[in-house]
Structure 1
């Protein structure tokens, strides 16, 4: 058996060898089985105008149109799970950051969490992080996916973890309300806690957001300079920031990630001076495409800018063709990866009503 059908086993190589069309058929058979499928998707069948079980190729998922994430704001997250998932349920409900409205919710089964954590660990190993080290996490926990995943991954790599919580929703609320003094107080409050740990404990690696690392580098470059590596997720990062961060730390290890509660990706090796930071999704459970901003049914050419579209193909969660709030360059990942990448990700629109803040 391979990693694709053995719970608890993870092999990046096995996943990368997965035929995407065959995987699509497997997910749809599970989601739309009349007896054991997903309650949500089975209710949609009469309105679809086609039989999902007749879809044979990944490209045919376009028939579903663009999934509206607002559905996940009020829906019971369990309704997205196939009835085939063993009961009683064991897992976590995670929420989006709520940048553009009320948070969306999804249920992560143990199978889903294992796969996402496996890709996360693979991205760390590929970047050069070593097991058995000490980490400090400064980022969102609580309802957010990232804190839970890092805790799982540090256990998998026999590492020690310190943690400081950031509340991205509160920071964004302060920005929307032009309460910049309070926002600065919150930044000082959270960064001060990070500094206290870095100043008193031996920490090898820091996992945080580019925005928080920028604050720490401004306040205490000496402490940042002692780090052997940093992992960066969340707010968007530029190539200039990446180069500055790499020059600032003692080690030579940086791992960048792109994604959200629904689908994640890992940073590809950065070529200095290329002006391009590229990412590839957790294939085949997540795939990113870059589409025309005015015609989301059309892929842009490699090297062209467009809107990011995400498709989620977990066996226990199916979300087709989500139009993300980001834009990016369509990136050719070459022969190593069986899917496209995205590069130089940034917000599709920048406004006070949808701020990025610390995350």
Structure 2
């Protein structure tokens, strides 16, 4: 998919995306007991153009895999899937899935993630000096430490940046807000359907 975008083959990309949407529609129409969906923001929007997910019985959606901002978060909750439990997700193989702060309209649809401690710890650091953490509310590069019974990966610099978020009662450790691709990579990295 990324290669299709990189080479400007938008017609082929649309054909592939339509194929994925058609497969999802076939599954949703063939089974009346599907209540949860895992998808990317772009595929959720494309699927919602074809079918009302709440009317199809979907009660919850985990959405992630690519960058998602507050504007899309609002759009999804209010227009694409109103009344459906919408859960932004962030994670990878090293970390697992981070928990999203429970939705609160007072947050203006900001998406704030908290890593699954103690297995994973996220620090936001100065991109030019990974030994220097940034202050709350400041932008920093994501640095991940993972520790499980099988695996230890200390201080791995991810290709993401975010603002450092305060701990909350439910997650008494630092979070990350407005997660996105590292600024210096935004022109060189292709982000596709996934």
The answer to whether the superposition gives a TM-score over 0.5 is yes
1:338 positional shift: 3.7
Give every structure 1 segment of 4 or more consecutive aligned residues whose post-TM-superposition deviation is greater than 4 Å: none
**Residue 263 in 1 paired to residue 92 in 2?**
no
- CA displacement 1:146-167 (0-9 Å, x = unmatched): xxxxxxxxxxxxxxxxxxxxxx
Rounded to whole Å, the distance in 1 between the matches of 2:129 and 2:101 is 28
* Structure 2: runs of 5+ lacking an equivalent: none
- More off after superposition, 283-292 vs 238-247: 238-247
**Residue 251 in 1 paired to residue 83 in 2?**
yes
- How many residue pairs were aligned? 186
Rounded to whole Å, the distance in 2 between the matches of 1:211 and 1:333 is 30
Rounded to whole Å, the distance in 1 between the matches of 2:81 and 2:20 is 21
Aligned counterpart, 2:132: 298
1:198 positional shift: 2.3
Secondary structure of the 1:327 match is: strand
Rounded to whole Å, the distance in 2 between the matches of 1:337 and 1:250 is 27
Rounded to whole Å, the distance in 1 between the matches of 2:133 and 2:63 is 28
Residues 199 and 223 in structure 1, CA contact (< 8 A), matched pair in contact too: no
1:334 positional shift: 2.5
Aligned counterpart, 1:209: 40
1:184 positional shift: 1.1
**Alpha carbon RMSD of aligned pairs, Å?**
1.7
Q: Answer with 1 or 2: which has the greater Rg.
A: 1
1:250 positional shift: 5.2
Rounded to whole Å, the distance in 2 between the matches of 1:318 and 1:234 is 24
The alignment's TM-score, normalised by the length of structure 1, stands at: 0.49
* Structure 1: runs of 5+ lacking an equivalent: 1-170
The structure that is strand-richer by fraction is 2
* Among candidates 185, 194, 198, match of residue 24 of structure 2: 194
The structure that is helix-richer by fraction is 1
- CA displacement 1:274-298 (0-9 Å, x = unmatched): 2321011110111111111221111
**Residue 354 in 1 paired to residue 189 in 2?**
yes
